[in-house]
Every structure is written in structure tokens, then in C-alpha cells.
Amino acid sequence: MASGFFAILDDIAALMDDVAVASKVATHKTAGILGDDLAVNAEKATGFLASREIPVLWAITKGSLLNKIIIVPIALLLNAFFPVAIKVVLLLGGFYLAYEGVEKIIEYFFHRSKPSHVEAKEVRQEGPEEERAKVQSAVTTDFILSIEIVIIALGTVLEQSLTIQILTVSVVALLATVGVYGIVAIIVRMDDAGYQLIKRSHEKGVFTAIGKLLIKALPIIIRILAVVGTFALILVGGGIFVHNIEFLHHVLPNFPSTPKEFLFGLIGGLITIPVVLLIKKVTALIKRS
């Protein structure tokens, strides 16, 4: 009986070792998407009142975890019984991401938004509805990026057993959520950490200088992430098109991959915008009638 017990432990250890190796490979493959995910969600998690930053971020994190809980089993089932559906979902998600990115660029050039400090006041004035809308937008974008992460992770273990597939994809999905939103939490609380350093050092010495640096750096980082996040949306969307539409593999064959993916993402977003506007108009007409 003892030998049987230790044999089970050996099997579990071997399985965990295989999962660890597979998870390492899958995480490496999804590193680019995780970077884009960080940039996009850091940009979406900012612009709230300081007192609401952590509650809002926690709401987005819970939404992200729920996204993974929904996506992982569906991806595994579709891969087993209806693999073509995964490509369709990915392409629809690509159009959504490209649309969001292009819409931000158009809004910047043609419908310039108010400064960030005004946006914070608007959150206070408009109350929880505006907050819920921003959280929902962040969770929806996370859902699309999560699909890409899960599919790429699954693609690295297609030759493995179902158990390893399930465990590997689950590990990568969990790491994606904890890692990305953990870093986002650090970013959005930089100014509070700076104020605490200044207060505890009595506005003197090295820690005060570090605190002031953190406070000054936060708005710069947020602006950078806003730009990076917008371009990341278009780039990820374009990457989905290039990797899942056979025809695009043969277009501009000598063009560098990153500019090529951005170009197709830009085109995809521009195509999607009039479609979305038409849908909104039709929906408005239906509601009026």
C-alpha cells in the first residue's frame, strides 16, 4: 500500500513537472500579448478618484478572473469538437480591439477629450454609473485579450494529454490575471506611495526625493501607457488578422511583421467603425419605434 501511495506521488510530481515546463513555454509565447494586456488595462484602470482606484481595479480583476473561468473550458471544448469556431471568435475579437484603438485615435484628433483631472471630477459628479461603464469596458477588452492568451497557450500544448492541456492553460490564465493586475495596482498607487515616503521622511532626505519622483512620474507613465495601450489594441487586432487569415500571410511578404500587423489592425478598425455606427443607428431607430 505504501509503495502504491509513493507511486501516485511520483506520478503527480512528474505531471507537475510537465505542466511547469509547458507553462513556461506557453508564458513565453504569450509574453507579447501579456505586455499589450498590461498597457491596455493600465490605461483603462486610470482616471478614477484616488479613493476609488483600488475598488475599481478589484472589480476589473474579478471580471478578468470570471473571463478566464468562462474562456478556458469553452476553448478546450471548442478545440476538441469544433476548432473552426475558435478562429471565428478570434477574428471577431480582433475587429473589436482594432475598433477600440482606431476610435481612440479618431477621438483624440477630432473630438479632443478633457484633461485627466477634469475626468476625475466627472467621475465624482456622474457617480457609480460612469464607473460601472468604465469597468465594463475594461472587462470586455480583457475578455478579448484573454481569448488570445488562452488560445496561444493552448496551441503550445496541443500534442500533450488533456490533463496537461487543462492545467497548463489554467496556470497561464491565472498568472496573466494576477501578474497583469498586480503590476497595474502598483502603477496606479505610485503617487500614494510617494506621498507616504514624503510624510514618513518629514520632507527631508533621499526618501523625500524618491517620493517626489514617484508623484511626478505617475502622470507621465499614465500618458505613455495611454498611447501604448491604444497602439497595442490595434497591434493585437492586426496580429489576430495576420495569423488567422491565410490571404494576409501573402500580402506584403517582405514587410516587417510589427508594422504589417499594425497596418492591418488600422484597416480593420477603420472598416469596423462605420459598421458599428450603422448598428448604433439601427438600434436607436428600433428603440424609438
Q: 85 near 78, Cβ under 8 Å? A: yes
**Whole-prediction pTM value?**
0.67
Confidence of residue 223 (pLDDT cuts 50, 70, 90): confident
Q: What pLDDT is attached to residue 258?
A: 86
Q: What is the mean pLDDT of residues 110-123?
A: 49
Q: 201 near 184, Cβ under 8 Å? A: no
Q: List pLDDT tens digits, range 263-272.
A: 999 999 999 9
48 DSSP assignment: S
CA angle 30, 35, 36 (to 5 degrees): 100
Closest alpha carbon to 64 in 177, 141, 219, 153: 177
42 DSSP assignment: H
Q: Which helix (H) or strand (E) holds 108?
A: helix 84-110
Confidence of residue 154 (pLDDT cuts 50, 70, 90): confident
Q: Which amino acid is at 14?
A: A
Cβ neighbour number for residue 263 with a 10 Å cutoff: 18
Q: What is the mean pLDDT of residues 166-170?
A: 85
Which of 29-33, 49-53, 89-93 has the lowest average pLDDT? 29-33
Q: What pLDDT is attached to residue 120?
A: 39
Percent of the chain with pLDDT over 90: 7
Q: Give the whole-angstrom CA distance, residue 263 versus residue 261.
A: 5
Q: Is the pLDDT of residue 150 over 60?
A: yes
Q: List pLDDT tens digits, range 5-39.
A: 445 545 556 556 666 766 666 666 565 566 666 76
Q: Give the whole-angstrom CA distance, residue 42 versus residue 57.
A: 9
Cβ neighbour number for residue 49 with a 10 Å cutoff: 13
Average pLDDT of the chain?
Answer: 78
C-alpha cell at 17: 513537472
Q: Give the whole-angstrom CA distance, residue 182 versus residue 259.
A: 30
Q: Which amino acid is at 156?
A: T
Alpha helices (H) in the chain, listed in sequence order: 2-29, 31-44, 50-81, 84-110, 116-126, 128-155, 162-188, 190-200, 205-244, 246-249, 257-288
47 DSSP assignment: S
Q: What pLDDT is attached to residue 118?
A: 40
Q: List pLDDT tens digits, range 55-82.
A: 888 888 899 899 989 988 988 888 888 8
Q: What pLDDT is attached to residue 59?
A: 87
Cβ neighbour number for residue 84 with a 10 Å cutoff: 8
* Domain layout of the chain by residue ranges: 2-184+223-288
Among all chains, which residue has been given the C-alpha cell 488562452?
Answer: 150
